[in-house]
């Protein structure tokens, strides 16, 4: 059977921490089944790629989700997931020259288009 491939499109971070945590929790659970998945961060979601930012998100309401910083660490360090940051969002969200988390890189929207041609998408 062919390995399933997914791209998670995450639009939120501090503005809706439970939505971001839910996306990362689902991805972590799916990755345990050895699926191929990566992330494309847009809008407020790009801030998740800024090193140290996730540690400051402490106001999650749902106890069932692990903290965002822990989920990011698991996905990047244990599972090697890639986080692509929308190039159009870098300047508006103050990421110019910022240090990014492990496995994060800036990519244009056309790259997301390429991912969507070969993967199923999950959007949060």
Question: pLDDT for 26-69, tens place per residue?
Answer: 999 998 888 999 999 999 999 999 999 999 987 767 677 789 99
Please state the domain extents for the chain: 5-123
Among 1-5, 31-35, 41-45, 107-111, the range scoring the smallest mean pLDDT is 1-5
Beta-carbon neighbour count of residue 106 at 10 Å? 18
What's domain 5-123's superfamily in CATH?
DsrEFH-like (3.40.1260.10)
Supply angle C-alpha 50, 111, 88, rounded to 5.
Answer: 50
pTM of the model: 0.92
């Amino acid at each position: 059977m062919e390995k399933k491939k997914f791209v998670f499109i995450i639009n939120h971070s501090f503005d809706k921490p439970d939505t971001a945590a839910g996306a990362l929790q689902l991805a972590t659970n799916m990755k345990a089944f050895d699926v191929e998945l990566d992330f494309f961060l847009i809008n407020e979601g790009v801030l998740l790629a800024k090193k140290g930012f996730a540690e400051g998100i402490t106001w999650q309401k749902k106890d069932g989700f692990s903290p965002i910083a822990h989920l990011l660490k698991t996905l990047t360090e244990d599972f090697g997931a890639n986080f692509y940051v929308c190039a159009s969002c870098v300047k508006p969200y103050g990421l110019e020259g910022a240090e990014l988390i492990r496995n994060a890189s800036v990519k244009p929207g056309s790259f997301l288009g390429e991912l969507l041609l070969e993967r199923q998408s999950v959007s949060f």
